[in-house]
Amino acid sequence: MQFELPRPIFDANANSGASPEGEGLGNLPEWDLNDLYTAEDAPELTRDMEWLEKACADFASTYEGKLDDLDAEGMLKCVQDYEAIDLIAGRIMSFAGLRYYQITTDAGRAKFMSDCQEKVTVFTTPLVFYSLEINRIDDDKLAEMFAENADLARYKPIFDRQRAMKPYQLSDELERFLHDQSTVGAAAWNRLFDETIAGLTFDIDGEELPLEAVLNMLTDQDRSKRETASHALAKVFEENIKIFSRVHNTLAKEKEIEDRWRKMPTAQTGRHLSNHVEPEVVEALRNAVVAAYPKLSHRYYALKAKWLGLEQMETWDRNAPLPKKDEKTVAWDDAKDIVMQAYNGFDPRMGELAEPFFNKGWIDAAVKPGKAPGAFAHPTVTNVHPYVMLNYLGKPRDVMTLAHELGHGVHQVLAAEQGELLASTPLTLAETASVFGEMLTFQQMLSEAKTKEERKILLAGKVEDMINTVVRQIAFYDFECKLHEARRNGELTPEDINTLWMSVQAESLGPVFNFEKGYETFWAYVPHFVHSPFYVYAYAFGDGLVNALYAVYAEGGEGFQEKYFDMLRAGGSKHHSELLAPFGLDASDPKFWDKGLSMISGMIDELEAMED
Mean pLDDT rounded to a whole number for the chain? 91
Question: For position 9, what pLDDT does the model report?
Answer: 39
Strand order in the sheet with 363-364: 363-364, 387-389, 376-378
So what's the pLDDT on residue 23?
Answer: 63
Separation of alpha carbons 319 and 162, rounded Å: 42
Domain boundaries in the chain? 33-164
Taking phi first (over 0 means left), then psi (-120 to 50 degrees means alpha), and beta for anything else, what does residue 426 get?
A: beta
Burial readout 67-101 (b: 16 or more C-beta within 10 A, e: otherwise): beebebebbbebbebbbebbbbbbbbbbbbbbbbb
Q: Can you give the pLDDT at residue 326?
A: 60
Q: What pLDDT is attached to residue 19?
A: 39
Residue range 33-164, CATH number: 1.20.140.70
pLDDT at 383: 96
Work out the average pLDDT over 257-267.
95
**31-69: per-residue pLDDT in tens?**
999 999 999 999 999 999 999 999 999 999 999 999 999
The upper half-sphere exposure of residue 496, i.e. CA atoms within 13 Å in the direction of its Cβ, equals 18
| pLDDT confidence tier of residue 3, bands split at 50, 70 and 90 | very low
Query: CA distances (Å), 40 to each of 47, 105, 219, 395, in order?
Result: 12, 17, 39, 35
7 pLDDT more than 50: no
pLDDT tens for each residue of 69-80? 999 999 999 999
Res 1: pLDDT: 43
pLDDT in tens, 178-231: 888 877 788 889 989 999 998 999 999 999 999 988 998 998 999 999 999 999
For the segment 546-596, what is each residue's pLDDT rounded down to a tens digit?
Answer: 988 998 898 887 899 999 999 999 999 998 889 999 999 888 887 888 888
Phi, psi for residue 378 in degrees, rounded to 5 = -105, 125
Summarised one tens digit per residue, pLDDT across range 423-470 is 988 877 888 899 899 999 999 888 888 888 889 988 998 999 899 989
Q: What is the pLDDT of residues 474-512, one digit of tens each?
A: 999 999 999 999 999 999 999 999 999 999 999 999 999
